[in-house]
Amino acid sequence: MPIQPNFLERFAFFTLNAAPTPMLDLAGALGYQALSTAVRLNLFNTLQERPSTLPELVQTLNCQERGLKHLLSALAGIGYVVAKNGRYHNTTMTEKWFTDGTMLDLNNAVTCWDAFLRDLWPHAPEVIQSGERPYNFYDYTANQPGLSHAHQQMMFGNANLNAPDVTSRVKLPAGPTRLLDVGGGHGAYTIHFCQEHPNLQATILDSAIALETAQQHVDAAGLDGRVQLQPADIWQIDWGQEYDLILLFNFIHHYDQETNVKLLHKAHAALKPGGQVAIFDQLESKQFGSAISGLLQLISLMYYLFADGRIFSRDEMRQMLGTANFSNIQFFTTPKWAGQSLVTAVK
Ligand SMILES: C[S@@+](CC[C@H](N)C(=O)[O-])C[C@H]1O[C@@H](n2cnc3c(N)ncnc32)[C@H](O)[C@@H]1O
């Protein structure tokens, strides 16, 4: 858990500006490194199987005692583990979010974040100065063994958290039959929509490597006969026609407004009259508190650095959808979605 200043510390840091507040950002960076180290040593899964003493952990994780003790103290200091009666336990926060296998996929997330911090973020000054990127984000993930799968699995974990809520909020006319999931990656959203609407046949468009992950999930869900995986660059192919629903989930943040209007025109052309486009992405909103709003600005910077993309406001979203001839634009958000919003609009 990120360091939480107490009342007096908050007063000193934020109200009086009497203590060096940027140290809290350094703490966040160090905290991430401690977390990544623990994940790579398999500490949290080990503690989940059995709360353990330091000597037991030294043996199981094949570590030096002094180093491991330092790591455990650091993790205790930021709320990931707790020592009780001589045994270390995961905290309830660690259990809920990282070890029960249905929430965030920590192993894959750490694989991704380590790679992005190591390989992409160091280019930030040159990207900001030149506007050029010495990488293409999806070629970069595709060319590193396992990274594309880890990225898709990380997104899959996030999708499984949100999908039940998201699917129930997209109100479709009775008996929808055709769904197109643009950049659907791992397939989780398509799977949830197919489970919710028994007559739905779906197509997921994405790169061949991303669809390898989707194939595993579609097979596991027993939906092979209803979900078609179409490897393609979405800009290079005709999407087909007469869809009831087109998903653009975590996709528009790759592009600027002009390109998104082209994307939305493509979606409009592929929908049947009365069909809907659904967008799920981070959007700026006055409903968010300062922590989520600050996080969204950082994520927007990352989208710019990685893909020349960004996060949009609701007004910009309305304007892009209106320009592409969509009507009945609706926005939904809940604190559970951690800064993401659902937007639906009708052809
Ligand atoms: C951030 S992921 C989102 C995955 C999923 N829709 C979700 O919401 O979790 C974006 C996906 O778009 C795919 N993608 C990006 N550009 C693409 C393009 N030009 N053609 C096909 N797929 C693309 C990526 O491979 C990736 O799977």
Distance in angstroms (rounded) separating the CA atoms of residues 86 and 94: 19
Residue with tokens 């653009």: 248
Do 198 and 235 form a contact (C-beta atoms < 8 A)? no
How many whole angstroms from 218 Cα to the centroid of ligand 1? Answer: 17
Which pLDDT does position 230 carry in this prediction?
A: 97
In this structure, the residue with its CA closest to atom 20 of ligand 1 is: 233
What are the chain's domains?
Answer: 7-100 (1.10.10.10), 121-346 (3.40.50.150)
Q: Which run of H or of E encompasses 270?
A: helix 257-270
234 lines ligand 1 (CB under 6 A): yes
How many whole angstroms from 315 Cα to the centroid of ligand 1? Answer: 24
193 lines ligand 1 (CB under 6 A): no
Do 317 and 247 form a contact (C-beta atoms < 8 A)? no
Distance in angstroms (rounded) separating the CA atoms of residues 247 and 179: 8
163 lines ligand 1 (CB under 6 A): no
Distance in angstroms (rounded) separating the CA atoms of residues 207 and 148: 10
The DSSP result for 275-334, as a single string, is EEEEEEEEEE-TTS-HHHHHHHHHHHHHHHHHHS---EEHHHHHHHHHHTT-EEEEEE--
pLDDT category of residue 124 using cuts at 50, 70 and 90: very high
Rg (CA), the chain: 22
251 lines ligand 1 (CB under 6 A): yes
312 lines ligand 1 (CB under 6 A): no
184 lines ligand 1 (CB under 6 A): yes
Atom of ligand 1 nearest to the CA of 183: 12
Atom of ligand 1 nearest to the CA of 158: 9
pLDDT category of residue 102 using cuts at 50, 70 and 90: low
Burial of residue 12 (CB within 10 Å: 0-12, 13-18, 19+) is: middle
Side-chain half-sphere CA neighbours of 295 within 13 A: 12
Provide the greatest CA pair distance for the chain. Answer: 67
Distance in angstroms (rounded) separating the CA atoms of residues 194 and 189: 9
Q: Is the pLDDT of residue 103 over 90?
A: no
166 lines ligand 1 (CB under 6 A): no
Atom of ligand 1 nearest to the CA of 155: 9
Which pLDDT does position 290 carry in this prediction?
A: 86
Number of Cβ atoms within 10 Å of the Cβ of 164:
12
Strand bridging mode 340-346 / 327-332: antiparallel
How many whole angstroms from 101 Cα to the centroid of ligand 1? Answer: 23
Q: Write the pLDDT tens digit of every residue in 279-302.
A: 999 999 887 888 889 999 999 999
pLDDT category of residue 34 using cuts at 50, 70 and 90: very high
Do 53 and 87 form a contact (C-beta atoms < 8 A)? yes
Q: How are the residues of the chain apportioned to helix, strand and coil, as percentages rounded to the nearest 5? A: 55, 20, 30
Atom of ligand 1 nearest to the CA of 234: 20
Q: Write the pLDDT tens digit of every residue in 154-184.
A: 999 889 989 999 999 998 888 879 999 999 9
Q: Specify the DSSP class assigned to residue 288.
A: S
Mean pLDDT within 309-323? 97
**Can you read off the two tokens belonging to residue 175?**
């008996």
CA 234 to chain CA centroid, nearest Å: 21
